[in-house]
Amino acid sequence: MLFSREFRSLKSQAEANITVKGSKFLAFAFPVNNETEVKVQLSALRDKFPDATHHCYVWIVNPDKSAQRINDDGEPASSAGRPILKQINALDLTNILVVVVRYFGGKKLGIPGLIEAYGSAAKLCLSKIDIVNKTLLDYYKIETKIENEHLVYNLARKFGAKIEARLTAHLFIGILAINGSKTELFLKECQLFNNFECVFLKTK
């Protein structure tokens, strides 16, 4: 296993705002699963605040945080995105998008001031989220004779797996979702049964 199957994310979106020397900083946090969802949220914010001076953001996805992007949107390099990222990392979060929308108030803040403002706006926003611990699941298709139905449900109970099934006159066909940390033992046990087909579908 190259990375932990356990990860932390946020349950639902949150928002907060601060004002620094006349500039307004509107911060938003969203749960996201991929870059497509990121683009949807960014587009919606640009439509909602078309006259804002900057839309600075950070997004991170995947349990191992292998995909992420920082955008200062015209602010001096590392004065906006990096402070936002620091607040996300402080909570060890992934599958998240944080955007800080700025309306310039007429007074320049300087790079230290920008770092403080963007970081503070992100921190305040993230203080309002509900953090959830999630686990990646492996999904398998199980196909066996109808008389083996009880064996499948026994396996599901033993390994704490979830199962959705449908029956035909002769077959039991089910989709089983199991904690990936238990997959190896689960597959070994499946091999003990005759006429028992177990095919990997996805990890999610």
Distance (Å, whole) CA 54 – CA 102: 5
Task: State the Cα angle at 62 between 57 and 64, rounded to 5°.
Answer: 105
Q: Write out the chain's pLDDT in tens, 204 residues.
A: 345 678 999 999 999 999 999 999 999 999 999 999 999 999 999 999 999 999 999 999 988 899 999 999 999 999 999 999 999 999 999 999 999 999 999 999 999 999 999 999 999 999 999 999 988 889 999 999 998 889 999 999 999 999 987 877 789 999 999 988 888 999 999 988 888 999 999 888
What is the reported pTM? Answer: 0.80
- Give the torsion through C-alpha atoms of 109, 113, 116, 120, to 10 deg: -20
β-strand pairing of 14-20 with 54-61: unpaired
Among 72, 61, 16, CA closest to 37: 61
List, in sequence order, every beta strand (DSSP E) within 21-53: 23-31
pLDDT of residue 166: 80
Cβ proximity of 103 and 24 under 8 Å: yes
Instruction: Please state the domain extents for the chain.
Output: 6-133, 137-203
Which residues contact residue 82 at a Cβ distance below 8 angstroms, ignoring those fewer than 6 apart? Answer: 70, 115
Query: What CATH number does the domain located at 6-133 have?
Result: 3.30.230.30
pLDDT of residue 164: 86
CATH class of 137-203: alpha beta
Distance (Å, whole) CA 122 – CA 189: 48
DSSP 127-191: TTPPEEEEE-EEEEEEEEEGGGHHHHHHHHHHHT-EEEEEE-SSEEEEEEEEEGGGHHHHHHHHT
Query: What's the alpha-carbon Rg for the chain, to the nearest Å?
Result: 23
DSSP one-letter code for 12: S
